[in-house]
């Protein structure tokens, strides 16, 4: 697994919703399950993960409630780091070496974000967990997923979804005629305003020809299969 190896490298985006199971705080059973599924791919695939934080705070919501937007966004970013530490713990319990890299310096709990070092970790079969978003207010962790994937040279961004297994023509929870779209271009997604990831993130993927797959994390072994390259859910390309 050393120099010259052309292993598959993926950037997995896990939203706060995945961590919280739709509630505030941590759904530890789910985090453990995801960690075990990731562990099953280590050695075969190089895995980096961008972690969301919506299960703790979303800056836009706190700002709606009257807080200063930037301060609220920093709270949102700090929330992602708690998710990172939880995921790190369950991955280590599953026998995986991990590093958390934070975009906001907090040396006691995480390394700094150093892209070349992140690549080196992956080459050594360590799973790298990116926390604190971009370290910048007004950004989202979706955008960070696209940016980190590009900077560490991932082959694909894998968007793990909770409660839905891909992109649909309409909301499958309310519309029985909604159909799964298996192949989508970024232009279509942007024009039809399909909620794949936010628009900034999609534009970044489009401009840099980065492939994305949106899949449901709930099925048995889905996370493992997605990381290993199985075609699932919706594939989004240029």
Q: In the complex, which residues of this chain contact ligand UDP (CB under 6 A)?
A: 15-17, 52-54, 58-60, 73, 76-77, 80, 133-134, 136-137, 139-142, 144
Min dist CB 140 to ligand UDP, Å, is 4
Residue 227 CA to residue 41 CA, distance in Å, equals 7
Residue from 195, 15, 237, 43 nearest 125 by CA = 43
| Of residues 15 and 41, the one with the C-beta less far from ligand UDP | 15
The residue nearest ligand UDP at its CB is 52
Query: Would you state the structure tokens that stand for residue 114, as one six-digit string?
Result: 């150093």
CA distances from 180 to 12, 28, 105, 174 (A): 21, 30, 41, 14
Min dist CB 3 to ligand UDP, Å, is 32
What is the 8-class DSSP label of residue 136? -
Rg, C-alpha atoms of the chain: 17
Min dist CB 34 to ligand UDP, Å, is 14
| Of residues 15 and 98, the one with the C-beta less far from ligand UDP | 15
Min dist CB 7 to ligand UDP, Å, is 26
Q: Alpha helices of 124-220 — where are they, by DSSP H? A: 141-151, 186-191, 199-207
| Of residues 58 and 235, the one with the C-beta less far from ligand UDP | 58
| Of residues 121 and 161, the one with the C-beta less far from ligand UDP | 161
């Amino acid at each position: 697994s050393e120099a010259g190896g052309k292993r598959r490298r993926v950037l997995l985006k896990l939203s706060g919703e995945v961590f919280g199971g739709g509630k505030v705080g941590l759904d530890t059973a789910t985090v453990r399950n995801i960690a075990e599924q990731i562990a099953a791919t280590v050695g075969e695939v190089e895995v980096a993960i961008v972690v969301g934080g919506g299960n703790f705070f979303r800056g836009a919501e706190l700002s709606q409630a009257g807080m200063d937007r930037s301060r609220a966004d920093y709270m949102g970013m700090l929330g992602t780091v708690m998710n990172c530490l939880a995921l790190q713990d369950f991955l280590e319990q599953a026998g995986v070496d991990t590093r958390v890299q934070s975009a906001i310096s907090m040396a006691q709990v995480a390394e700094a974000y150093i892209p070349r070092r992140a690549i080196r970790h992956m080459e050594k079969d360590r799973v790298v967990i990116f926390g604190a978003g971009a370290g910048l207010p007004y950004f989202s962790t979706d955008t960070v997923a696209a940016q980190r994937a590009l900077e560490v040279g991932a082959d694909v961004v894998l968007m793990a979804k909770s409660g839905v297994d891909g992109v649909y023509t309409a909301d499958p929870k309310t519309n029985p005629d909604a159909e799964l779209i298996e192949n989508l271009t970024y232009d279509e997604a942007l024009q039809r305003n399909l909620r794949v990831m936010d628009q900034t993130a999609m534009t970044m993927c489009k401009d840099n020809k980065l492939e994305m797959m949106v899949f449901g994390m709930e099925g048995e072994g889905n996370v493992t299969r997605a990381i290993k390259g199985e075609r699932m859910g919706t594939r989004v390309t240029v």
